[in-house]
Amino acid sequence: MYMNAFSNALSQLKNSLDIKDEYDKRLFDILQKPQRVVTVAIPVRMDDGSVKVFTGYRVQYNNFRGPYKGGIRYHSQVSESEVKALAFWMTIKNAISGVPFGGGKGGIKVDPKKLSQGELERLSRAFIREIAQNIGPDIDIPAPDVNTNSQIMAYFTDEFSKLKGSWQPAAFTGKSVDQGGSLLRTEATGLGGFFILEKIAKKYKLNPGKTTIAVQGFGNVGYFFAKFAHQAGYRIVAVADSKGTLIDTSGKGMDPDKILETKREKGLNSGCYCRGSVYDCSGKVYRSQSAEKVLYQNVDILVPAALENVITSKNASRIKARYIIELANGPTSYEAEEKLNKKGKTVVPDVVANAGGVIVSYFEWVQNKSGDTWKKEYVRGRMKEMMNEMTDNVIYTAEKDNISLRAAAYRIAFERIKSAFLFRI
């Protein structure tokens, strides 16, 4: 991490609120710290017979509005500060989106691309054994995040069910449909970002065929966002992952499916993690550049869809995009956003833009609890309705109070958490 992610998260809260009474002050003080931080050592037998010990975290930030809810990521940069920040953002996101959850997050400090399928499974199951007493369908419901997916959720669910002595599908979301997952969950975060794009385009009268987009991060979220945007006629002119940036030179825009095909051809690690890069797609049509160059393209819309802290006070002045849609968690530092706002740029904050994932996770949890199965059209319709209502509320509050979209989102979330808090004191 280039900065303390948790400090950045708290700065966003502090500078968004208008503290009016003692209850505001009391809740503000409560939200300065998570309710629980679980840190575990995870010994794993490796394929060569050695034993490695990995560090895992589960941060349960606040449960005033319901069970803790948030993903688990596998990444070499995972730290307690990062997971606390992510859990805090989930608390805000769940409140602003209207789902009946509090906020939590988890992670393991590991480079999953260096593990075999067997090692990934043993690590995943061992982690669940360590935190099983702290999670459950009515306590804390984990989900996928960076470098985790439905296969990892299957390991989690199976191991947790064995420990509890019965099948526990509602204990985790983001599962495959065969394991009780909801239709549209895989593409939900990217699809939700597309719904936000459509809202922004309508409000600011952007013509899809003339609107250019750069996507930083070409994993699950970035790919599905780009796919839906491309299908709707928007021009994807740059995409990037950790290994490089691809720039379209055809003038017609990029086809995300073609790029994904090349990534898959370059190799998958046991069906879970891609070893390829969009850089490998360079040729006659696409020009390759370094990974960070995607941020500085002369485009209408920039979509950070990877990790935290990619837009900082040091590089904010180089951002040319008029609109930034944050599909990653915490991609913009507080200082950077101040600079962007002063330049007249519009930042759609992560707690709004990437809420599609947790909304469909909520749908999955409801279906698992009731034993029901919803059709794709119904899931998409309900999701779009909730995303649009949330976005409308944020835009209305921002314009009414003459504040940024992030500040508006935080104020709405704070009031909703306070409403639940007042019933508990």
Active-site residue set: 105
Query: If we measure between CA atoms, which residue out of 155, 232, 219 comes closest to residue 187?
Result: 219
DSSP state string for 270-283: TTTEE---GGGG-S
CB 237 within 8 A of CB 211: no
CB 74 within 8 A of CB 124: no
Q: Which residues pair with 103 in a beta bridge?
A: 62
Query: Residue 403: how many CB atoms within 10 A of its CB?
Result: 18
In angstroms, the CA 393 to CA 389 distance is: 6
CB 214 within 8 A of CB 302: yes
Residue with tokens 């688990």: 72
CB 193 within 8 A of CB 356: yes
Query: Which residues contact residue 20 at a Cβ distance below 8 angstroms, ignoring those fewer than 6 apart?
Result: none
Q: Tokens standing for 46?
A: 């490796």
Burial 356-394 (b: 16+ CB within 10 A, else e): bbbbbbbbbbebbeeeeebeeeebbebbbebbeebbebb
DSSP state of 337: H
> What are the phi and psi torsion angles at 72 (to 5°)?
-125, 125
In angstroms, the CA 387 to CA 403 distance is: 20
Helix (H/G/I), strand (E/B), else coil: 77 = coil
Residue with tokens 């900082």: 312
SS (H, E, C) 167-225: CCHHHCCCCCHHHCCCCCCCCHHHHHHHHHHHHHHHHCCCCHHHCEEEEECCCHHHHHH
Q: Tokens standing for 327?
A: 């599909």
